[in-house]
Every structure is written in C-alpha cells, then in structure tokens.
Structure 1
Amino acid sequence: MIIGTRGSRLALWQAHFVQAQLREQGIASELKIIKTQGDVVQHLTFDKLEGKGFFTKEIEDQLLAGNIDLAVHSLKDLPTTQPEGLTLAALSYRAAVEDVLIIHRDRAVPGQPFQLAGGARVGTSSARRKAQLLDLHPGLVTVDIRGNVPTRLEKARTGELDAVMLAAAGLERLELDLSDLLVIRLSPKEFVPAPGQGVMAIQTRVEALDIRRQLAPLHHLTVGECTNVERTVLNLMEGGCSMPLGVYCEQDQLNNYHVWAAYAPSYGAPVRRVQLSRSTRAGLAELVVEALSPIPSP
C-alpha cells in the first residue's frame, strides 16, 4: 500500500504509526509525501486561506487519482464532509485531547490566570484558542504564528513570545523535551478542544473494498462514536478549522455520553459554553447546537 502524508515531523510520526500497524497484519507499505496549501502558504493565518481542507485537499486529490492507496490525517484537519468517492476507513486511538500552554519560565506570574500577566503575548493561529483565551483572560494579546511544532516552541524558548499554545497529542507523539519551559495542561472540560483533536484518520476510496477491509481492524469504535458527535456539531454549524468552536465528547463506563462545547461568533466576542449528558448519541449533536445558538430577541 502507498500511504499519502504531509511531510511535517508530526505528520510523518502519524504515518509511520499506521505503517507499523499495517506491518503487524503482514501488509507492506511505503510513504509518499505530499505538500498541501497549508504547508506551502505560511504567511497567512488559517482564516485567510481559501476554502476548507487546506491541510488535506492535495492529499485527497492524489487519493482520488489512484496515486496513493490511503491517506493519514489529523482528524481535526479534515472537513466534516468527505469528497465524493472518499471515505474514512478507520480512526485511531485518542491521544491526550487537551490543549497545552507553554510559557517562558521568566514570564510566568503565579496567581494570575494561566500564570500570565495582562499584556502577555501568546502565540496561536487558532480562532478557537484565541476566543477561549481572551474569554478567560481578557488582558492577553494573541499573536498569529504558523509553522511546525518545534518552530512554534522556539518562539517561547527565545522569549519572542511569552507563551505558545499547542495540542498535547502532538507534543506527546514527538516526545519533545520541555523541561526548560513551564507547561500548563488545560482541562478539555474547561478549555474545550477542537472536534476530533488527538485522533488520526485513515482515508481511502469508497470503491477500494479490499483496502477498507484490511483497514477495518485499525478502527476504534468508541473514538468513532464520540468524534462523530463532535464533528456533527461542527457540520451543523457549517464550520471549518477557522470557526471559534470547541467540542469534546466522552463516553463513561455506563455508556452515557457527555459533551462540552464552547463557541464564540468571533474570538473577541463572549464565549457561550454548554455541557450536556445523554444515554444515547441520537440527537445529541442537534441539542448541543441548539444550546449554543443565540437566543432570539423578543
């Protein structure tokens, strides 16, 4: 099998992980690195890039053309609607789902929210993270940053920024040494992550039934159920990666579903927060969207 992937260190870690799982089933594979719009255009923030799927479209085009057999993506980068002819064959285990604030040790102020003083500069290009940061600490200044994980960390290390915000999953998968920095892990029930955060998605062609059968053992059912709720909320709100929306769903030991969501019309607006629990997924995403929607004026 030929596996399509982006060329960043994290993307390659994910592709090698899937490759190892295939090897355990006796399936040989090779990697093909594909540059996406998100990799090439580094001077624009996510909300300025055209359309959705700017980390996935070029890979999906190669998949549709038959040049690769499957693609490995971060689920949170994938648009909620699959291109015609493509399907998700499997979802990985879920790594740590939370966001992490990484602070230059000399800039930490104990006792302040996030241990950051008013006016502290925090690097993130995520509208969702900006919205929740400013909602919980209005005195912060958010700064757009792009680049891979080590590049972003360096901005905190050098003091160019007081702090940067990244996903815990990527930091753990890359096993980076953060001992020289102050690391604050944020509860996903308070600082709500992106839909699908911490999960890898394996995508292939609908018609490739044999490949789909071979990939089926890699699928994690509970992860699929929970992320389906999260991504359905995103889809119903007609949002993409640039929407200031966080949704996190987990299943307890009694098979009840619990959802936390946070949404702002823009990252300067107040954040509306919702927590709902149900014994079934049926209609759960719709209830979350209804609760997040503004109450009509009388």
Structure 2
Amino acid sequence: MIRIGTRGSRLALWQAHFVQAELRKHGIESELEVIKTQGDRVQHLGFDKLEGKGFFTKEIEDALLEGRVDCAVHSLKDLPTNQPEGLVLAALSYRASVEDVVLIHKDRVVKGQPLWLGEGATIGTSSNRRKAVLRDLHPGLVPVDIRGNVPTRMKKALSGELDAVVLAAAGLERLELDLSELEVIRPSPREFVPAPGQGVMAVQTREDDIEMRKKLSLLHHPVVGECTNVERTVLNLMEGGCSMPLGVYCEKDQLGNYHVWAAYAPDAAAPLRRVQVSRSTRAGLPEEVVSQLLNGTSD
C-alpha cells in the first residue's frame, strides 16, 4: 500500500484523489496522509512575507525524506525549482486550463473597460505576478491581498466584499465550482501570462526508491514535462520563487516547435517587460527568454 502525502485543502485532496485513481488503473492501491504546511498555517501574511521558498511543500517533503510517506502530490507551480537533496519528480499530470480567470461581482461589471473593471475597482490576489500583470493591463485597479482556499477567495467577489478576484482556471474546473453568479473573464495566457507549471500536478518521491519511481512513471505526460521544464528553467535562471513577479508559458505545436510567452517585473509595482520567443528546439530556449527579460536582447 503506497502512502501519498498531500495538503488538506479541497483542491489538494482532489489532486491526491486523482493520482490515487490513476494508480488504481494500474492495479496499485494507496492511502492518503494529510500534512499541514507553513502556507496552510499562516493565513494572515502575503506570500512575499513568508520566509524562504516552498511554504506549501516543505513539511510534505520532510515527511518523504523521513519515510513517513512514499510519494507526494503537489501543484507544480508551488514547488521550488531545485528539489531537496534525495527527492525527484517522478511524474507530471495532464495540464488543465492554464489561464488565470477574473471573477467579477455582477453589479461591478464595466463593459468597455479593460478586464470589464472600472477605475479604482478592488481586485483580490496575493500573487505579485498577478498584481504586476493587472497593473500592466489596467493601471487603475486596486489589488487587495487575499489568502485562503479557492472557494474562500471566490466568495470575496461573490459577496461583494471585493469587486473581483483572480484565480487559476485549473482549480475552479477541478473543484467544479458554480460561477453562474459571477461575470467570468478569461484573458489569454499569452497576455495574462500564468505561473510556471500552472495547471499541472507533480508527483514527487525519493531518488533512491527506484521501484516507486517506476510505478509513478506510468502517470507521466512527456509533452507537459517538456513545456513545464522550459518554464521552470526560466524561473530557476531568474532565481525566483513563488513571490517573484514572473509569468512563463510554453506551448509545443504540432510541428514540434516551442513557443514561450513571458512577463517579468522587478517588483509588483514596476513596469512589466514582455517577451515572446519561438524555437524548433528546447536547447538554449530558457536562456534566450531570460536574456530578453533582463536585458531586452537576444543571445
């Protein structure tokens, strides 16, 4: 019986149950072990105020290293790009809708304005990346830090406490939340550039557990692995974590070419720099993106 480590939020449990069901298709039984992380415990601070990286993953990774669980399911975008010594990513899931979604209270919609929001509208997000992109698309918005699980954040717009909130489409879809009482704006991920790895679940295990790695490899989606590797390599080269105002999105077309859209600001209040790079190979692609983001030049 495999023990799967997971956070206890509704979305985290959905993801862990999904992996459990995928393993069962291969005749592999498992049980869930819920582990509380720093990000779950400290709800009153924005992400940029929490210490270090991996505040949604560290405690789960500790349980893996200590042998209390055999593998762990994470949102890939929450995972630091450098794995702790002794741990590896054994599988990446399919990719759900990658974009961010703007959910607006129906009485606060202003058609004709960017994102259908008026000057001075309040919009909930604790993500520096989202704040920087919002400022670029609509400088008149007022970002407000919000924390909590997906349904809790959604209710901030539903109740009218805020005019709107920004959430990942993947979480809304996986939880099958009812959005009928809200106006839903879905900007293109090429414009509202998502976090590296957004919409993907990662399954992590111990590097020396070869049998477990073989079992988990049955769940791996290779093209998702290629594209998110480009995105996360850009993040790593930028030496960024969850709080860096950086969006990176990579697509692979039917001819095998890679297309990357990236957006970066030195901080959430600084002007946003956008780049788009296409290549027939991943070799040198992340380096090219980073060069253009930092210097506005090609290598």
Normalising by structure 2, we get a TM-score of 0.98
Which letter maps to 2:183? Answer: L
Q: Secondary structure at the match of 2:295?
A: coil
Alignment partners' CA distance in 1, 2:94 and 2:51 = 31
Alignment partners' CA distance in 2, 1:64 and 1:16 = 22
Gaps of 5+ in 1: none
Which letter maps to 1:233? Answer: V
1:271 aligns with 2:272: yes
Name segments (4+ residues, structure 1) moved above 3 Å: none
Q: Secondary structure at the match of 1:219?
A: coil
Alignment partners' CA distance in 2, 1:190 and 1:174 = 25
Match of 2:158 in 1: 157
Which letter maps to 1:190? Answer: E
Match of 1:16 in 2: 17
Which letter maps to 2:231? Answer: E
Q: May I ask how many residue pairs the two structures share in their alignment?
A: 296
Match of 2:38 in 1: 37
Match of 1:174 in 2: 175
Alignment partners' CA distance in 2, 1:268 and 1:50 = 21
* CA offsets 1:160-218 (integer angstroms, 9 cap, x no match): 00000000000000000110100011100011000000000000000100000011110
Which letter maps to 1:167? Answer: A
Q: Secondary structure at the match of 1:218?
A: coil
Alignment partners' CA distance in 2, 1:115 and 1:178 = 16
Match of 1:206 in 2: 207
Q: How does 1:31-110 map to 2 (within 5 A)?
A: 31-110=32-111
Displacement of 1:268 in angstroms is 1.0
Match of 1:224 in 2: 225
Distance 1:118 1:85, change over 3 A: same
Match of 1:184 in 2: 185
Match of 1:245 in 2: 246
Alignment partners' CA distance in 2, 1:146 and 1:138 = 23
Match of 1:193 in 2: 194
Displacement of 1:136 in angstroms is 1.1
Displacement of 1:295 in angstroms is 5.5
Alignment partners' CA distance in 2, 1:213 and 1:13 = 23
Alignment partners' CA distance in 2, 1:57 and 1:284 = 30
Displacement of 1:294 in angstroms is 3.5
Which letter maps to 2:194? Answer: P
Match of 2:255 in 1: 254
Match of 1:293 in 2: 294
Which letter maps to 1:172? Answer: E
**Considering only aligned residues, what root-mean-square deviation do their CA atoms show, in Å?**
0.8
Alignment partners' CA distance in 2, 1:97 and 1:154 = 22
* CA offsets 1:217-253 (integer angstroms, 9 cap, x no match): 1000000000000000000000000000000000000
Percent identity, aligned pairs only, is 76
Alignment partners' CA distance in 1, 2:193 and 2:158 = 26
Gaps of 5+ in 2: none
Alignment partners' CA distance in 2, 1:207 and 1:26 = 23
